[in-house]
Every structure is written in C-alpha cells, then in structure tokens.
Chain A
Amino acid sequence: MNEHTSTSRRDFLLAGFATAAAVGCSDSTNPFTPEMAVAPSGEKVKLLSVTGEIIEVDKAFLKPVPDVPQLSNAEERKGIPGKKFVMVIDLARCKNLRKCQSACNHMHRVHSGQNWIKVLSMQDGEHTAPYWQPTTCMHCDEPPCVKVCPVDATFKRQDGLVLIDSDRCIGCRFCMAACPYSTRVFNWGDPGVTADVADQHYSCETSMPQKKGTVGKCDFCPDMTRRNELPHCVSACPNGVFFFGDMNEDSVSNGAETFRFSDLIKDKAGYRLMEDLGTKPSVYYLPPVNRNFPYESGL
C-alpha cells in the first residue's frame, strides 16, 4: 500500500512537469497541486518530457490547464509597442473566392450567417467596371465607433487596432449605427460556440469567445501578430489579395511577397474607402487595374 502511494506520487509529479512543458507554461506556481487523492486508472499516456524523453503517465493524473488569461485586459487595451498595423487589399487579384471569409469565420467562431469579412460586388457608376471588394474592419485612426461608445468597450490601441471588450459591452449598438463601413455584427442570440470555447476567458485579442448581446467585428488577429504570423484572412487567400504589415517598418506581406508599403501605395495608386468622411482607415486598396481575373470569374 505504502509503496503504491509513493509510486503514484512520482507518476503524478512527472505528469505535472510533462504537461506543463507540453503547453509551454512557465508559471512558478504548480497548477497541478492535488485537491483530492486521485486513484490511478491503469491507462497510460505517452508524453514528451522537458529533456526530450518519451515518458508514460497514468491518465488519471492528467488535468487540463486552468483557464488563465495570457495577457491582462490592461495589456490587451494598450497594444503592441512600436507597431502601427496596416493592411493593403489588392483589388486586381480578387475573384470572390471568399477563402478569407471562411478562414476568418472558422478561426473566430463567427456565428453562422454572419461574416466579419465581406466580399462585396461593387460598381461605382453606371458605365464603370464592376469589381470584387473584400472589406474588413478599417481600424480607423479617427474611429466613429470608439467616439460613440459609452463605456469604452470598443477602444483604439497604440498599435492602431480598434478592438472590442465583450466583457464590458452593454449592447447598445451605437457603434453599429456609427460605423459607415457596416463592419460590425451583433450576437443577437446565443453565439453558438462549442462549450470548450465558451468556457474560455474572453480575450480582446482573439475576440473569443463571442458573447450573447454584445458586438463583434474583424480584429486584425493581434494574437497571430504577437506570434509573428499573418492574420487568418491573409494566409488563407490563395491569390495573395491581402497584405498585412507594420507602417513603422514600412513593409507589408501576403506571405509569398513582401513590399515596401510606401512604394506599393505610390506605384499602384493606393487609396482608402470614404476618405471624405475623415475616418482615416488603416486599410488601403489598390485599384482593380491589370486584373488577374475577369470580374465574371467570381460570379
């Protein structure tokens, strides 16, 4: 009996370290302190230890990591220092595949039927050429939505992003009325996320989990940016329509190609939507000239 207990304790400690290593958690406090005695189930699980050995641990000793927010709300509201994010959308390359949309919807668990990215069929005048225009949140430098929010639930960060704190949003929808780009969606009912996502701690950077009675929108995926990866729409587009980058570094990339932002805008005559409203968007469009695909191919 005595021997058995000591074995299981060793097993337990191993499991603790191994799982901690597996999830990359470097917290000094061990979240695996047993609250109650756990009986071994006899079923073993293989894990990779810190030193690179494969070890076996009894399944009964495995516990999920408690939901600890990676970043505090204050840090999420401040933004990534020294950055000024910018997106360039090349309309000459878009053929309405909507891979951006489905990747975005999937990764952010957007309620079915709603979209954070919309691909609009545009025609500016009677005799002008139609084209496909993907629209994200413009992350305006003079954001009308932030101006009207009564509780600072939608805010502008120092890195240029406009994000939403769904734990604070009161659901008045003034921001939706204020946004001239109609970019915002509302969780009218239950957002319909799976239980594992719903139980997570809300993060302004992942905009997840969506909450009933609050507003949502494109967030430029700052969680990906922190890992030096591109937003989901950028990497999902097979035609390289989206370029994402940092204005301070003056570079934007769609994954395959990287351009100097200022050169790209200069050479291709980039523009922003509804410049006359004074919202100063962070999304630039390159006009649909010398197109890769005819408009009709996207119908």
Chain B
Amino acid sequence: MENITTLTSEQITKDLMPQQFGRNGKIWVAILVLICLIGAYAYYLQLKDGLIVTNMRDYVSWGIYISNFVFFVAISLVGSLITAVFRLANVEWSTPLTRIAEIIAVSAITFASLIIIVDMGRPERLLNLFAYGRIQSPIMWDVIVITTYLFISILLLYIPLLPDLKIMGEQDTKGPKWLKKFYRFLGSFWKGNPAQEKISNKSITILCILIIPVAFCIHTVTSWLFATTYRPGWDSTNFGAYFISGAFLVGAGAVVTAMFVVRKMYSLEKYITEEHFDKMGKIVVLLALLYLYFNVNEYLVPAFKMKKAEEGHLDELFTGQFAPLFWFAILVGMVIPILVLVTKKGRKPLPMFITGIMVVVGAWFKRYLIVTPTLLHPFLPMTNVPENFKHYFPSWEEWAIALGSLSGALLIITFFVRIFPIIPIQETITQQNEKATS
C-alpha cells in the first residue's frame, strides 16, 4: 500500500485506464468466441431435436447443465463477499478487488439464468412461470431471488463506476469515438458534486446491506432444489450452509485467478500488490477450511450410519466409479489449496494463481458430483429401461453448451476489462488522498 501513496492522481488515472487488446488478448478473445459459437450451434441442434441430443435420460434427468448452473450461482456469490461484506467491515485493502469481484458476479449470474433456460424441455414456455407461477415451488423462489440478485449486482457495479465514467469521458485519449459516447451515455448525469456523492455513498451502503441476505438466498434456494427432494445425497439439512461455504470458496478462487491475470496483462503491480495476494490467500484458506468442514458433515454422518438408500450412493463416491472425481474435488479443490496457502511462500502471486485455478476446477467437478451420482441411485431398482438410461456421460452437445456458457462468462469479463477501468480510479485516488492527509 505504501507505494501507492507516492503516486499522483494523474499517474493513477493513466495507469488504470483500460488498454487495447494485445496479441495475446486477441487470441484469447478469438478462442472464447469460437467456443461460444460451437456452443450456440449445439444449442441450435438441441432446439431442433429436443433434449434427446443430451445424454440425460429418465433416471439422470439433470446433468451438467444443472451442475453448471449451480457452479455459476456459486461463483456469483463472491460479489457480495468482496464488495459488501468487506465494505461494511471497513476493509480498505479490498478496494482494487471490488470491481473484479462484481463483474465476476454479474457475468456468472447472467449465465446462470441462461443455462437454466438451456436445460428446459420447452424454453419457449418460459413465460408460463409468470402466467401460471406457483409460489410454493422452490423454482419460483429461485427465479425471484436470482433476478433480484442480478439487479442489485448490476447496480453495485454501476454506481461505483459513475465517477470513473466521468474521468473516462473527459480523458482526451485516442480511443474510438463511440466509446466516448458510450461513457457519456452511461454517466453524463454524474457531476461529482458533494450532494451526488452523498447519495451515491448512501445507495452503495444500502445495496451492500441488501445484497448479503439476497446472496444467501440465491444459493440456499439453489441448494433447496435438491434438499427438498427425498433422494439420498440430497436429503440433507446441511445443504444450504454447505452450498454457501462452497460458493464463497469458488468465488474467492475466481477472484484470485482474475486478479493475477489482470495484474499481469495491465502491469498493475503497484495497485494489486503482493500484500493483496497474501490477504486473499488467507481468506481462501479460511473458506476452504469452512467448506471442508461442511463436507465432513455432509459425507461422514451418513457414512457412519450407512442407511440402505445412502449406501449405494456413498460407495460409488468413495470407492466406485465416481471415486477418482470425488477425491480429485476434495484434494485439488480443498486440501491442497489449504496446504499450499498456509505457507507464506504459497501466498505469492504465481502459486496463488495456480491454486486459484485448482479451486475453481475442483469446484466445477464438485457440483457435477452433487447432481449426477444421486440420480443414479433411485429408491426403486432401475429396471425395464434401456441400458443407456443407467449411466450418464455428457454428450458433445452438452459439453459444447456448458463450455460455451463458461466462455461466454469469461468473454463478458474480458470485454468489461477492455472497456472499463477494472480497478476503481476515483476510489483509489480518494483513498490515497486520505492516506496522505492523515
């Protein structure tokens, strides 16, 4: 932090301006667009022929679309953690990370809504939810809280952006004209006078308080889509807390990964310092321990009793066909990150980046393990059905759509970083001035 205080506002503004894509940036965007297009083509096939193009069948009626949905909802929770919880707790060092967290939240929750529509057998009947909606159904609760969360997240991204939009609009850079117009369109009413600032600060505080219960709701309700059924592996009162702790972990992992990339690409070493990595590392350890604790609850308690219905499911996870994936998710997603990040050396940027990726990848497979194995263990035996109903491995269309949605989310983040300052300019300047005067 000390090195920031030596910078002038002009220097900060110049450093934090969004920059054009370099060669790597262009390749990155091209790859993401390509994956998105393949996903869009796969979805076209699915619209044409129906969900038959997937490998979901009557027993495994929810597959990677739903686990991907849970993953997106999970990762979006980080917006509320970094922005809201840290802000309300007066954690000052988190300022450069708030916008990274918030754009991850917005893009993830957007794609969560899209992927759930992809999973519908009749997407054209989406409006039936409003025409005939039954408030008793957990799906309706999810629709309500996810929409609310999306809007609050967008506002939490937008309002702190206003002072920066003014700076961007006033800058005489060589950037394209439409971009300037776009900045002015978004924020021309912002004059930056004390009255406006007062309203803005108040709104942000209110939104920060609002978003915490809504964030808890989105993931608790998502966990209830499973926990309100009778099935072994889902029928658990632990599920809400289990999902939320896992969500904070994967979100923190995603922020760590993103801050490493942004820092490297934009050379922001002065703003996202090693100290930030160190602090985020400690948070990841805490969250991973918390998630591990809930995992022990979730698996050890039923495994101790080994009720008949649970037995097949747990055997399959611990030693059966899902065992490699299960232990991968536990080790790579939780245990190894904890072991690496408890050491001071482990919290340097590069090892942090690698563990961040491990946490995110482990978390994605963890969601798959929550959804699918349970469905392969119904109460009554699986008979009188074709052989392929008894197994599940996603078809290429499912992979393409799932990867396409992940690429889409990354694409939103990438374009946001290209167009807007990813580290709040005005806030950084204000914070530095406060430091200088104190």
Q: Which residues of A contact B (CB under 8 A)?
A: 98, 101, 113-115, 118-122, 135, 144, 147-153, 168-174, 176-178, 180-182, 184-190, 212-215, 274, 277
With A120-B381, A180-B379 given, is the CB distance from A147 to B137 under 8 Å? yes
A151, A168, A214: the one contacting B121 at CB < 8 Å is: A214
Whether B134 lies near A121 (C-beta < 8 A) is no
B139, B140, B228, B380: the one contacting A120 at CB < 8 Å is: B380
Q: List residues of chain A with CB within 8 A of the CB of B229.
A: 144, 148, 177-178, 180
A173 vs B57: C-alpha distance when bound (angstroms) = 11
Whether B381 lies near A171 (C-beta < 8 A) is no
Most central of A176, A187, A188 by chain B CB within 10 Å:
A188
Whether A176 lies near B61 (C-beta < 8 A) is yes
User: B128: CB under 8 A from chain A?
Assistant: yes
Residue of B nearest to A211 (CB): B122
B120, B138, B231, B384: the one contacting A118 at CB < 8 Å is: B384
User: B125: CB under 8 A from chain A?
Assistant: yes
A171 vs B384: C-alpha distance when bound (angstroms) = 23
User: What's the nearest-Cβ distance from chain A to residue B413, in Å?
Assistant: 28
User: What's the nearest-Cβ distance from chain A to residue B58, in Å?
Assistant: 5
Q: List residues of chain A with CB within 8 A of the CB of B132.
A: 151-153, 168
A185 vs B61: C-alpha distance when bound (angstroms) = 9
A152 vs B383: C-alpha distance when bound (angstroms) = 29
Whether B133 lies near A151 (C-beta < 8 A) is yes
Whether A150 lies near B383 (C-beta < 8 A) is no
Known A149-B134, A177-B231; 20 more pairs at CB < 8 Å: A113-B385, A118-B383, A119-B383, A122-B381, A144-B230, A151-B125, A152-B134, A170-B126, A172-B121, A174-B137, A174-B139, A177-B225, A177-B229, A177-B375, A178-B230, A188-B54, A213-B120, A213-B122, A215-B121, A274-B379
Q: List residues of chain A with CB within 8 A of the CB of B50.
A: 187-190, 212-213
Interface of A is mostly: loop
Residue of A nearest to B387 (CB): A113
User: B378: CB under 8 A from chain A?
Assistant: yes
Q: List residues of chain A with CB within 8 A of the CB of B215.
A: none
A168 vs B122: C-alpha distance when bound (angstroms) = 9
Whether B137 lies near A120 (C-beta < 8 A) is no
Q: Which of B137-159 contact A (CB under 8 A)?
A: 137-140, 143
A133 vs B276: C-alpha distance when bound (angstroms) = 63
The A/B interface has a contact count, at CB < 8 Å, of: 141
A181 vs B378: C-alpha distance when bound (angstroms) = 8
Residue of B nearest to A113 (CB): B386
A103 vs B436: C-alpha distance when bound (angstroms) = 85
A150, A181, A184, A214: the one contacting B129 at CB < 8 Å is: A150
30 A-B contacts, Cβ less than 8 Å apart? A113-B385, A118-B385, A120-B383, A120-B384, A147-B137, A148-B137, A149-B137, A150-B134, A150-B137, A153-B128, A169-B121, A171-B125, A172-B121, A173-B61, A173-B62, A173-B121, A174-B225, A177-B229, A177-B375, A180-B378, A181-B380, A182-B382, A186-B61, A188-B50, A188-B51, A188-B54, A189-B51, A190-B49, A190-B50, A212-B121
Whether B385 lies near A213 (C-beta < 8 A) is no
A274 vs B226: C-alpha distance when bound (angstroms) = 19
A118 vs B228: C-alpha distance when bound (angstroms) = 25
Q: List residues of chain A with CB within 8 A of the CB of B128.
A: 151, 153, 168, 170
Q: List residues of chain B with CB within 8 A of the CB of A149.
A: 134, 137
A119, A135, A182: the one contacting B59 at CB < 8 Å is: A182
Whether B383 lies near A151 (C-beta < 8 A) is no
Residue of A nearest to B128 (CB): A151
Whether B56 lies near A188 (C-beta < 8 A) is yes
User: What's the nearest-Cβ distance from chain B to residue A176, in Å?
Assistant: 4
Residue of A nearest to B132 (CB): A151
Q: Which residues of B contact A (CB under 8 A)?
A: 49-52, 54, 56-59, 61-62, 119-123, 125-126, 128-129, 131-134, 136-140, 143, 225-226, 228-231, 375, 378-386
Q: List residues of chain B with CB within 8 A of the CB of A173.
A: 61-62, 121
A187 vs B58: C-alpha distance when bound (angstroms) = 9
With A170-B125, A172-B139, A174-B139 given, is the CB distance from A114 to B133 under 8 Å? no
Whether A185 lies near B58 (C-beta < 8 A) is yes
Residue of A nearest to B371 (CB): A177
Residue of B nearest to A167 (CB): B125
Whether A182 lies near B379 (C-beta < 8 A) is yes
With A115-B385, A170-B122, A172-B121 given, is the CB distance from A189 to B49 under 8 Å? yes
Residue of A nearest to B230 (CB): A180
A149 vs B132: C-alpha distance when bound (angstroms) = 10
Q: List residues of chain A with CB within 8 A of the CB of B125.
A: 151, 168-171
Q: List residues of chain B with CB within 8 A of the CB of A178.
A: 228-230
Residue of B nearest to A212 (CB): B50
Q: List residues of chain A with CB within 8 A of the CB of B51.
A: 171, 186, 188-189, 213
A170 vs B126: C-alpha distance when bound (angstroms) = 7
Residue of A nearest to B57 (CB): A188
Residue of A nearest to B139 (CB): A150
Residue of B nearest to A188 (CB): B52
Q: List residues of chain B with CB within 8 A of the CB of A277.
A: 230
Whether B383 lies near A184 (C-beta < 8 A) is no
A56 vs B137: C-alpha distance when bound (angstroms) = 58
Q: List residues of chain B with CB within 8 A of the CB of A186.
A: 51, 57-58, 61, 121
A73 vs B228: C-alpha distance when bound (angstroms) = 29
Residue of A nearest to B137 (CB): A150
Q: List residues of chain B with CB within 8 A of the CB of A214.
A: 121-122
User: What's the nearest-Cβ distance from chain B to residue A86, in Å?
Assistant: 20
User: What's the nearest-Cβ distance from chain A to residue B388, in Å?
Assistant: 9
A143 vs B401: C-alpha distance when bound (angstroms) = 33
Whether B120 lies near A170 (C-beta < 8 A) is yes
A6 vs B382: C-alpha distance when bound (angstroms) = 66
User: What's the nearest-Cβ distance from chain A to residue B185, in Å?
Assistant: 36
A177 vs B379: C-alpha distance when bound (angstroms) = 12
A173 vs B59: C-alpha distance when bound (angstroms) = 11
A153 vs B59: C-alpha distance when bound (angstroms) = 20
With A147-B137, A150-B134 given, is the CB distance from A182 to B380 under 8 Å? yes
Q: List residues of chain B with CB within 8 A of the CB of A172.
A: 119-121, 139
User: What's the nearest-Cβ distance from chain A to residue B66, in Å?
Assistant: 9
Which 9 pairs of residues, A with B, have the shortest CB-CB distance? A171-B121, A189-B52, A213-B121, A150-B139, A150-B137, A188-B52, A118-B384, A176-B61, A182-B378
A215 vs B138: C-alpha distance when bound (angstroms) = 18
Q: List residues of chain A with CB within 8 A of the CB of B58.
A: 114, 176, 182, 184-186
Residue of A nearest to B136 (CB): A147
Q: List residues of chain A with CB within 8 A of the CB of B49.
A: 189-190
User: What's the nearest-Cβ distance from chain A to residue B340, in Å?
Assistant: 37
